[in-house]
Homo-oligomer: A and B are copies of this chain.
Amino acid sequence: MSDTPDSAVRTYTEQHRTAFLDDLAEWLRIPSVSAQPEHEGDVRRSAEWLSAKLKETGFPVTEVWETDGAPAVFAEWPSDDPSAPTVLVYGHHDVQPAAREDGWSTEPFEPVIRDGRMYGRGAADDKGQVFFHTLGVRAHLAATGRTAPAVHLKLIVEGEEESGSPHFRDLVERHADRLAADAVIVSDTGMWNETTPTVCTGMRGLAECEIEFHGPGQDIHSGSFGGAVPNPATEIARLVAALHDADGKVAVPGFYDGVAPLTDTERALYAELPFDEADWLHTARSRAASGEAGYSTLERIWARPTAEVNGIGGGYQGAGSKTIIPSSARAKISFRLVAGQDPDHIEKAVRAWAEARVPAGISHRITFLPATRPCLTPLDHPALRAVAGAMGRAFGQKVLFTREGGSGPAADLQDVLGAPVLFLGISVPSDGWHAPDEKVELDLLFKGVETAAHLWTDLAAALR
């Protein structure tokens, strides 16, 4: 070829644009809603459709993997260079529920293209973002003249992400050998906005607990006994109030042990993002920003661990009044964790902190749910530079960096496979994930194709 690789990728992508969009639309017509039992067959059909499409794309190995829930799809395309590194791409083929009457302008499972966007459930989350890898790898081969990718390429596309990935960790553990990789590319996130390409460098972890306080053996009369015995509702409130110090830091001793500090480089990069606090508050449906002293809003949600009360309850909550001292009260508290924090250590620290605060006359029970680890790839990691570089080539502009405040199954991949996790997402906040009129911007979708096409060459070099 006489083209530069970049223009060759663009040309190939443009030539296959129509067929690619037709294929994506066909996939979006399968209502693979994992949360709704009536769509169980559709989720399976979606897995089979994807498996066949990956075979057609050229993956020599494509398999539908069973779980105790919905099936996942695995595909593998070994490099023609035996010494090439191995890269695993993660995505999911299930989607959120959707119905026209929820407020969709058109049928959610009848995709349409309007104003340079494809509308349909799963267009952005996550079928569109899985699917750009199919044309991406073909463009990669076409532009480089290779017959196989520059990396050993693997895909794992699960079918239960929208239901909380209940069987994903088990799946990864059972197939750890076949999933083994030098890096994981997660394509299930987004970028800052339509004009600001960004790479996400990590997600927070999650430790969740419920703390119950039990006082009197039953609700007792607040006139007869009020002021003379411990009140579990008051005591649980005191515990919750002690959760943060005056600076908004989590006051649990040991909570910050090991926390990877936010580097000046990263703070400077975050500060380059076109962040508008008023817009952000509008999205958060909140009237004020608050939190840990010394950190910006983005730093607070991305790079700092937090404790939030998800629910609190005890005693009478109906209309009017009931003059009781409640028998019990409870709080559900979740901790978002950042790199360097260990969920087991957090559980121990929270238990010790809470138990030291249980007053005489109150018994307690603390229950932790299975935790999700944080994941973070350092800014100077060669694989991360490769992802940002490939994205920069596709977009033709500087790529900035973000993190995600939420938590996800990506951490299981990092954890079980011991590989760095990198996020390549081209969705934007206006795409309407989980909402009516979900869409994907076609220009960005094809930037995703181009990024994927460049990525295998760049990653092969970076990881060598």
Q: Roughly how many angstroms separate A291 CA and B242 CA in the complex, as a whole number?
A: 20
- A248's nearest neighbour on chain B, judged by CB, is B227
Is A15's beta carbon under 8 Å from chain B? Answer: no
Q: Nearest chain B CB to A322's CB is how many angstroms away? A: 6
Contact between B216 and A286, CB atoms less than 8 A apart: yes
Set of chain B residues within 8 Å of A271, measured between Cβ atoms:
none
Q: Roughly how many angstroms separate A208 CA and B297 CA in the complex, as a whole number?
A: 38
Given known contacts A220-B285, A322-B310, is B227 in contact with A233 (CB within 8 Å)? Answer: no
Contact between B308 and A334, CB atoms less than 8 A apart: no
Q: Nearest chain B CB to A300's CB is how many angstroms away? A: 4
| Chain A interface extent, by class | 35 or more
Of the listed stretches A30-38, A105-113, A404-412, chain B binds A404-412
Chain A 381-406 interface residues, beta-carbon cutoff 8 Å to B:
404-406
Contact between A311 and B316, CB atoms less than 8 A apart: yes
Q: Roughly how many angstroms separate A220 CA and B331 CA in the complex, as a whole number?
A: 17
Given known contacts A290-B360, A321-B334, is B233 in contact with A240 (CB within 8 Å)? Answer: yes
Q: Roughly how many angstroms separate A311 CA and B222 CA in the complex, as a whole number?
A: 11
Given known contacts A234-B244, A236-B312, A316-B311, is B292 in contact with A323 (CB within 8 Å)? Answer: no
Q: Roughly how many angstroms separate A404 CA and B221 CA in the complex, as a whole number?
A: 12
Given known contacts A290-B361, A321-B369, A332-B316, is B404 in contact with A223 (CB within 8 Å)? Answer: yes
Contact between A310 and B316, CB atoms less than 8 A apart: yes
Contact between B334 and A290, CB atoms less than 8 A apart: no
Contact between A288 and B230, CB atoms less than 8 A apart: yes
Given known contacts A288-B361, A359-B290, is B301 in contact with A226 (CB within 8 Å)? Answer: yes
When all copies of this chain in the complex are counted, the total is 2
- A281's nearest neighbour on chain B, judged by CB, is B229
Set of chain B residues within 8 Å of A284, measured between Cβ atoms:
216, 220, 224-225, 228-229
Is A309's beta carbon under 8 Å from chain B? Answer: yes
Set of chain B residues within 8 Å of A314, measured between Cβ atoms:
309, 311-313
Set of chain B residues within 8 Å of A216, measured between Cβ atoms:
284-286
Is A306's beta carbon under 8 Å from chain B? Answer: yes
Is A341's beta carbon under 8 Å from chain B? Answer: no
Q: Nearest chain B CB to A181's CB is how many angstroms away? A: 25
Is A317's beta carbon under 8 Å from chain B? Answer: yes
Q: Roughly how many angstroms separate A210 CA and B311 CA in the complex, as a whole number?
A: 18
- A287's nearest neighbour on chain B, judged by CB, is B361
Q: Nearest chain B CB to A267's CB is how many angstroms away? A: 16
Set of chain B residues within 8 Å of A140, measured between Cβ atoms:
none
Q: Nearest chain B CB to A120's CB is how many angstroms away? A: 23
- A218's nearest neighbour on chain B, judged by CB, is B285
Q: Nearest chain B CB to A352's CB is how many angstroms away? A: 20
Q: Roughly how many angstroms separate A353 CA and B406 CA in the complex, as a whole number?
A: 36
- A406's nearest neighbour on chain B, judged by CB, is B223
Contacts A/B (CB < 8 Å), 21 sampled? A215-B286, A216-B285, A217-B286, A221-B406, A228-B291, A229-B289, A233-B240, A233-B312, A237-B241, A240-B241, A287-B363, A290-B359, A310-B315, A310-B326, A311-B315, A311-B326, A312-B314, A313-B313, A320-B369, A321-B369, A323-B334
The 8 A-B residue pairs with the shortest CB-CB distance in the complex, in nearest-first order:
A288-B361, A223-B406, A227-B306, A241-B241, A217-B285, A311-B315, A237-B240, A311-B316
